[in-house]
Structure 1
Amino acid sequence: MSHGNRTHFSILLRLIHWTMAALILAMIFIGVGMVSTVGPAYSALLQMHRPIGAALFVLVVLRLAVRLATGAPALPADLPKAQQFVAKASHVLLYAAMLTMPLIGWAMLSAGGFPIVLTKALSLPAILPHDLRLYFPLRTLHTLVAIAFFALILAHLSAALMHGLIRRDGVLRSMTFGSGRREPIMSPQVDDLDATE
């Protein structure tokens, strides 16, 4: 659902978006550290990875509900149809990755027989029986989805910068806290040049 007369996403959606962006950035660094580290550092990173992953899952469910309830500003009318399709498809894929990654991780740890401790007082129940025949394929799938998710993030960031720096069409600002109005590229006028001389 889109609202052509709006210039911004809802304030709640923007707050969730930027909170998730910070947590996802942290998860990228934690994930890279986990695959390149052994010993005590790995255990410490894993203890951070699980609760952040659970928090991201809760946030993406909330975000999806808010997005469906409040809609989104319309894309610029002059944006080519192919780019509009890619924009919408990439958002669907981003939501799919954000929903499936923590679920796959949860299922993977359950199949591996590993406790999913979020805090000293809170642990998640297993969602699959302990079965190593499931654990290893799920671990591979978790890694593949993480790589695809990272590629989607790079594409999303590139598109946001293109809208904000090149097209300057208000799309980037619709998710920030500034003005969402379009900023046409202005060329200097002769009178303006004369005024500076």
Structure 2
Amino acid sequence: MKLVPQHFAPLARGLHWAMAVMLLAMLFIGAGMVASVSERHVWLLNVHKPLGIALLALAVVRLCVRLGTRQPPLPADLPMPQALAAKCSHGLLYALMLILPVLGWAMVSAAGDPVTLAPGVQLPALLAANAGTFALLRKTHGYLAYLLFLTVLLHLAAALYHGLIRRDGVLRSMASGR
């Protein structure tokens, strides 16, 4: 008989918190980037691209860790609609963490620009340059970024609900290994 884990694996917790910080930074950098017409726009863009690729790589690692480790179960007394919402929102978070960077990479490719990770290190274009494709991908990338931001806020609200109101150990299972 295997013991039911009470906490997420240390690697899963580390990836969760590192990516949480990076995702929030990415969302705010993206918002500042599209709102700026100053010289900061280029600087923000040059931070946004490699950060997006780093998040894509970490999302793949995180998904592998998630599939390769056991997670603590949701509380047995959690109402079914809340349990379903938790599962669906986690699925949506993983999907968006994988889709948004690839979509951004494709968008930049369609713009005819390189995705530069470091001086002299560029990723290959995913698509040929095409203004119409760029416009469609840019709009889609923006809408999905808003959806990610909303999903992150709901995830945070649920974590606080579990930690401060229900006090059922769900937040503690990701916050610490104790």
Tell me the equivalent position of 1:74: 73
Deviations 1:49-93 (A, max 9, x none): 001100000000000000000031100001011111110000000
Q: Which runs of 5+ in 2 are unaligned?
A: none
Task: Give 1:178 deviation, angstroms.
Answer: 5.0
Q: Which has the higher contact order (CA 8 A, sep 6+)?
A: 2
Deviations 1:17-63 (A, max 9, x none): 11101111211221121122113100000010001100000000000
Tell me the equivalent position of 1:166: 165
Tell me the equivalent position of 1:37: 36
Give the secondary structure class of the aligned counterpart of 1:72.
Answer: coil
* Structure with larger Rg: 1
Contact 1:110 1:126 in 2 (8 A): yes
Contact 1:108 1:135 in 2 (8 A): yes
RMSD: 1.2
Q: Higher mean Cα deviation, 160-169 or 34-43?
A: 34-43
Q: Which runs of 5+ in 1 are unaligned?
A: 180-197
State how 1:45-64 maps to structure 2 within 5 Å: 45-64=44-63
Instruction: Please state if 1:19 is matched with 2:40.
Output: no
Instruction: Please state if 1:88 is matched with 2:87.
Output: yes
**Counterpart of 1:157 in structure 2: which amino acid?**
L
Give the secondary structure class of the aligned counterpart of 1:17.
Answer: helix
Contact 2:5 2:70 in 1 (8 A): no
- Normalising by structure 2, we get a TM-score of 0.96
Contact 1:105 1:142 in 2 (8 A): yes
- The count of residues paired between Structure 1 and Structure 2 equals 177
Report runs of 4+ in structure 1 exceeding 3 Å deviation: none
Tell me the equivalent position of 1:189: none
Deviations 1:121-147 (A, max 9, x none): 311100111111211000000000000
- Normalising by structure 1, we get a TM-score of 0.87
Task: Give 1:4 deviation, angstroms.
Answer: 6.8
